[in-house]
Amino acid sequence: MLTQRESIADIQAAAAAVDRTLLMIPGPTAITAEVLAAGARPVLSHSDPRMRGFVAESLARLRTLFDAPASQPIICAGSGTLALEIALANLVEPGDRVLILESGVFGGRFRTIGEHNGAEIRVESAPVGQAIDVDQVRRAVESFRPKVVTITHVDTSTGVRLDVEPLCRVAREREALVVVDGVCSIGGEEFHGDAWGVDVGLTASQKAIGAPPGLAIVTVGQRARAARDNRRTPYPGYFTDFKNWLPVMESYEGGMPGYFGTPAVTLLANLHTALEELAAEPMPQRVARHAWIAGAFKAGIAALGLENVAAPEVNANTLTVVRNPDGVGDELVDAVRAEGVTIARAIHPELRGRSFRVGHMGICGPAEVLTTLGAIERGLYRLGEPVDFGVSLAAAQQALSRR
């Protein structure tokens, strides 16, 4: 084994000097040249026939992506956080009860949105890295009787993937509406919105879909529409109102686009091309590819003696959250960037300074996984950690060869 130690200042200087880097964070993700080029064309009017076609085709493809043919997709300018607010705020009124299933930090955003809208909140969670027990959820639903249950499919702070189907079933046994945050899952994990009973699903453009950041995407089912229509109190929002967005989306599909706010036409062109590329890969094949790539990366991490935060049975296929070696902090992220690969620091309070996050979704393939593992090996070496060079690459290669 070889060891070497460089000062943190040297590592930070080396990282700052990197001109080009392989982007391996959990979003935004790398995108293809074709998706990038789609946004370089002249800006179109939102009522231009070409733009009408782009949006109508994108909405149809989103129904397939979410496997929610009976739901109406909404696309608007914003981030995944806006999608969370659109999804939940339309459904709750002051005094309504919301049960939040928390597997990391992003359940907290649902909590804040619910509180801002006057809801009574209950949070059910599990230890970091573990899934929430279905029986635990059933007891909470029986005793709390929520109007809405929120589920984070994959939490980007922990890498935990929840089993959405049984959680939806438990919620709907008591007629609760179900909102699923699929920001870090849609396009990379198995998802069947209508069959599972998801009333509102949501994601963002910059994750497994493989488009630039800037678009919030929400699918609205019939029960969710009815909840908005039957509110007892006026809806306090404006830009986030279902009633402003749903008619516009329906009008695009009808060939005569309506108007609410100026759409992000360049980003819609990017999204159209990304969804076109995604549609060329059947979803079962795409999900299997993500599992294959994830298995290779996680095998490489294990070969280095590093641990995943998420337990094996709930470990997501779209990203991996890895515990640092003892005594190593966020300087590891800088050391890896100095080797030409950008990974992400931890954002969960219990993991900050003690773990790092790697996204492997969208167009990520074997080359990106092997490059990243090599950079992690060299980064550890820079920090004086014992490294048996090539051990993670060998493990990943073996996993890749078993496809």
Is 282 in a helix, a strand, or coil? coil
| Mean pLDDT calculated for residue range 80-105 | 98
Closest C-alpha among 189, 193, 217 to residue 58:
217
Residue 279: pLDDT over 80: yes
Q: Supply the range of the domain harboring residue 150.
A: 33-279
The predicted pLDDT at position 14 comes to 64
Check whether residue 304 and residue 196 sit in a common domain: no
Query: Does 214 map to a domain?
Result: yes
DSSP 117-153: TT-EEEEEE-STT-PPPHHHHHHHHHHH--SEEEEES
Q: Is the dihedral of CA 30, 370, 344, 282 positive or negative?
A: positive
CA separation, residue 72 to residues 30, 245, 309, 312, 389 (Å) = 28, 10, 36, 35, 51
Residue 113: pLDDT over 70: yes
Q: Quickly state the pLDDT bin for 255 (edges 50, 70, 90).
A: confident
Q: Quickly state the pLDDT bin for 256 (edges 50, 70, 90).
A: confident
Q: End of a domain among 255, 279, 303?
A: 279
Residue 363: pLDDT over 80: yes
Query: Does 304 map to a domain?
Result: yes
CA distance 65 to 339: 35
| Mean pLDDT calculated for residue range 170-197 | 98
Residue 225: pLDDT over 90: yes
More confident residue, 139 or 8: 139
Check whether residue 90 and residue 232 sit in a common domain: yes
Check whether residue 329 and residue 352 sit in a common domain: yes
Q: What angle do CA 295, 297, 300 make, to 5 degrees?
A: 105
Check whether residue 272 and residue 286 sit in a common domain: no
Check whether residue 247 and residue 314 sit in a common domain: no
Query: Does 310 map to a domain?
Result: yes
Distance, C-alpha 142 to centroid of its chain: 29
Is 363 in a helix, a strand, or coil? coil
Instruction: Please provide residue 351's backbone torsions phi and psi, each rounded to the nearest 5 degrees.
Output: -115, -10
Check whether residue 202 and residue 173 sit in a common domain: yes
pLDDT digits (tens, 9 = 90+) for 16-68: 666 789 999 999 999 999 999 999 999 999 889 999 999 999 999 999 999 99
Check whether residue 221 and residue 122 sit in a common domain: yes
Q: Quickly state the pLDDT bin for 97 (edges 50, 70, 90).
A: very high
User: Which run of H or E residues covers position 342?
Assistant: strand 341-342
Is 357 in a helix, a strand, or coil? strand
Q: What is the CA radius of gyration of the chain?
A: 22
Please count the structural domains in the chain: 2
Q: End of a domain among 253, 279, 305?
A: 279
pTM exceeds 0.85: yes
Check whether residue 101 and residue 89 sit in a common domain: yes
Q: Write the CATH number for 305.
A: 3.90.1150.10
Query: Does 3 map to a domain?
Result: no
Q: End of a domain among 250, 279, 308?
A: 279
More confident residue, 258 or 178: 178
Query: Does 16 map to a domain?
Result: yes
| Mean pLDDT calculated for residue range 305-309 | 98
Check whether residue 66 and residue 167 sit in a common domain: yes
Check whether residue 295 and residue 260 sit in a common domain: no
Query: What are the tokens at 244?
Result: 């402003």
Query: Does 1 map to a domain?
Result: no
Check whether residue 256 and residue 118 sit in a common domain: yes
Query: Does 314 map to a domain?
Result: yes
Query: What are the tokens at 221?
Result: 């089912």
| % of the chain residues with pLDDT over 70 | 96
Residue 2: pLDDT over 90: no
Which residues face 5 on adjacent strands?
Answer: 383
Q: Write the CATH number for 193.
A: 3.40.640.10
CA distance 114 to 325: 38
Check whether residue 85 and residue 209 sit in a common domain: yes
